[in-house]
């Protein structure tokens, strides 16, 4: 029972059943093909299209035109859900036919949790709609709020912020969907230390559960589901609770944010000499010890440490965007002065320090959906999260210990010889009855719902 049927199984729905399912859905069932199919021998081979893919898709060169193009980790069918009823029908069809079901929204999940081989996908990105409430009543809140349909993006939320003159906790990525993986994974923003995480300000959720039932949950009704959805993580824990179709979130008065941008690099740029390796890492240590006062001042830092190459030279670059909500640029400048002085003490001349004050931070400039967001997943990257405790920042040595490369310890553990009784038990373990293929880029072994 734990195995889902795949197209290889006799029990997989017939073409006629899929056609009937599409008819009952009103024609929103899609049958996606791999993007690269035009480069593979078969009916879809297309020289011109393939040449264009090869020009525009950097990693295309590694595909072998003589091999077989398969669906890989992508779903076999997709319900392009535009109504709650479409979601219910997808969930019911998958359950009744014992199919693996995956949920996709904008497709921004870094690890490809929104896809799944041999699956039926319910794509909720086109569940659109935004309703403004002047005086929303919840058990512990009365005031301004907005209801966001399941596929509402950061761009759409920002447009509403402007229309109704309010601040909504929102993602920096323009196409990230706010009721999708963003709030379900807690949802950070420039206001995270000022107002809290996005999941803290959700007042109500609506979802279709695995039995196909549409439920509304808040602090009073279905409160366990309400609790589970807020921070469980889209497609991991939360995906097992249901398909979210809308949320109601509280809003805040327009809250300006003062932001600065600082960077230093071991690579020289025109007019800016690179810093030494010693200075580079001394600067990182200065930043880490400064970051507690950033938190104490309810600020936020977005930082990137990247490998950089320029004119044949390789090096490292650190960029940091420091923000303080509800402060002026002058106040921010005064706040970071001591940090800049400490950087100069370790021989880091600041190349750019731009001060801005924005009424609507995180404002995505482009309303376009990136091509990657629609069908692709972020390649060559696996992202992990770490939460650090305040005590990790108590001293220079605790900062060093907290940020030490975790793989050092793991490698040591891997080298430890296995006790003989343990390897004996492993050899004689009963084989798994259900041998599901695990696809790269997909963490789902079975249906998400």
Q: Which of 171, 316, 324, 343 binds ligand FAD (CB under 6 A)?
A: 171
Q: Is 274 in the site for ligand FAD (CB under 6 A)?
A: no
Q: Which of 13, 212, 235, 299 binds ligand FAD (CB under 6 A)?
A: 235
Q: Which of 231, 239, 274, 361 binds ligand FAD (CB under 6 A)?
A: 239
Q: Is 193 in the site for ligand FAD (CB under 6 A)?
A: no
**Rounded Cα–Cα distance for residues 261 and 270 (Å):** 18
Name the burial class of residue 421, with classes exposed (0-12), middle (13-18) and buried (19+) by CB atoms within 10 angstroms of its CB: exposed
Q: Is 150 in the site for ligand FAD (CB under 6 A)?
A: yes
Q: Which of 155, 154, 81 is nearest to 124 (CA)?
A: 81
Question: Residues binding ligand FAD: what is the number (CB under 6 A)?
Answer: 33
Q: Which of 188, 201, 230, 250 binds ligand FAD (CB under 6 A)?
A: 188
Q: Is 244 in the site for ligand FAD (CB under 6 A)?
A: yes
3-state SS of 400-426 is HHHCCCHHHHHHHHHHCCCCHHHHHHH
Q: Is 320 in the site for ligand FAD (CB under 6 A)?
A: no
Instruction: Dig out the tokens for 410 from the structure.
Output: 């793991």
Q: Which of 75, 181, 361, 364 binds ligand FAD (CB under 6 A)?
A: 181
- Closer by beta carbon to ligand FAD, 110 or else 304: 110
Name the burial class of residue 310, with classes exposed (0-12), middle (13-18) and buried (19+) by CB atoms within 10 angstroms of its CB: middle
Q: Which stretch in 13-21, 168-176, 314-322, 387-395 sits in contact with ligand FAD by CB under 6 A? A: 168-176
- Closer by beta carbon to ligand FAD, 148 or else 346: 148
Q: Which of 81, 243, 288, 322 binds ligand FAD (CB under 6 A)?
A: 243
Beta-ladder partners of 104: 123
Residues 76-135 interacting with ligand FAD (rule: CB under 6 A): 103-110, 113-114, 124
- Closer by beta carbon to ligand FAD, 239 or else 283: 239
Q: Could you list the beta-strand ranges (E) of 180-299.
A: 202-208, 214-218, 243-250, 257-265
E strand or H helix at 122 = strand 119-123
Q: Which residue is nearest to ligand FAD (CB)?
A: 235
Least separation in angstroms between residue 399's CB and ligand FAD is 24
- Closer by beta carbon to ligand FAD, 130 or else 267: 130
- Closer by beta carbon to ligand FAD, 111 or else 357: 111
Q: Which stretch in 14-22, 239-247, 320-328, 420-428 sits in contact with ligand FAD by CB under 6 A? A: 239-247
Residue 441 φ/ψ, nearest 5 degrees? 70, 10
**Rounded Cα–Cα distance for residues 152 and 128 (Å):** 6
Helix, strand or coil, per DSSP, at residue 293: helix
333 contact partners, CB below 8 Å, separation of at least 6 = 260, 355
342 contact partners, CB below 8 Å, separation of at least 6 = 286, 290
Beta-ladder partners of 265: 317
Binding residues vs ligand FAD (CB under 6 A): 103-110, 113-114, 124, 150, 171-173, 176-177, 179-182, 184-185, 187-189, 234-235, 238-239, 243-244, 448
């Amino acid at each position: 029972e734990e195995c889902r049927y795949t197209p290889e199984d006799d029990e997989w729905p017939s073409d006629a059943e899929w056609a009937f399912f599409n008819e009952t859905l009103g024609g929103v069932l899609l049958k996606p093909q791999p993007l690269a199919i035009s480069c593979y021998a078969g009916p879809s081979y297309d020289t011109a299209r393939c040449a264009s893919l090869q020009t525009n898709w950097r990693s295309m060169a590694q595909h072998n035109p003589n091999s077989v193009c398969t669906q890989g980790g992508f779903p076999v069918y997709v319900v392009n859900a535009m109504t709650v009823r479409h979601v219910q029908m997808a969930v019911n069809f998958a359950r009744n036919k014992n199919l693996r079901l995956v949920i996709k929204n904008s497709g921004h999940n870094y690890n490809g949790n929104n896809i799944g081989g041999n699956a039926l996908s319910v794509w909720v990105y086109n569940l659109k709609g935004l309703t403004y409430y002047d005086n929303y009543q919840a058990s512990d809140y009365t005031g301004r709020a907005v209801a966001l349909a399941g596929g509402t993006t950061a761009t759409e939320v920002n447009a509403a912020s402007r229309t109704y003159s309010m601040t909504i906790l929102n993602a920096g990525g323009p196409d990230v969907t706010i009721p999708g993986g963003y709030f379900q994974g807690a949802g950070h923003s420039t206001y995270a230390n000022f107002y809290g995480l996005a999941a803290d300000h959700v007042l109500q959720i609506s979802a279709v559960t695995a039995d196909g039932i549409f439920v509304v949950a808040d602090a009073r009704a279905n409160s366990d589901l309400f609790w589970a959805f807020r921070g469980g993580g889209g497609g991991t824990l939360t995906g097992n609770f249901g398909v979210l179709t809308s949320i109601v979130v509280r809003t805040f008065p327009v809250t300006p944010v003062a932001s600065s941008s600082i960077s230093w690099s071991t690579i020289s740029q025109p007019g800016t000499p690179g810093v030494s390796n010693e200075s580079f890492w001394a600067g990182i240590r200065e930043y880490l010890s400064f970051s507690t006062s950033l938190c104490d001042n309810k600020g936020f830092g977005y930082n990137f440490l990247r490998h950089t190459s320029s004119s044949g030279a390789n090096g490292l670059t650190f960029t940091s965007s420091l923000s303080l909500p509800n402060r002026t640029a002058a106040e921010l400048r005064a706040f970071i002065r001591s940090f800049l002085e400490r950087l100069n003490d370790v021989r880091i001349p600041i190349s750019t320090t731009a001060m801005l004050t924005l009424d609507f931070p995180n404002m995505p400039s482009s309303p376009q959906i990136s091509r990657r967001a629609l069908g692709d997943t972020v390649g060559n990257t696996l992202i992990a999260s770490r939460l650090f405790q305040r005590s990790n920042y108590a001293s220079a040595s605790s900062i060093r210990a907290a940020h030490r490369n975790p793989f050092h310890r793991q490698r040591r553990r891997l080298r430890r010889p296995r006790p003989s009784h343990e390897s004996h038990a492993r050899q004689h373990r009963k084989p798994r009855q259900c041998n599901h293929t695990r696809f790269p880029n997909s963490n789902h072994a079975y249906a998400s719902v």
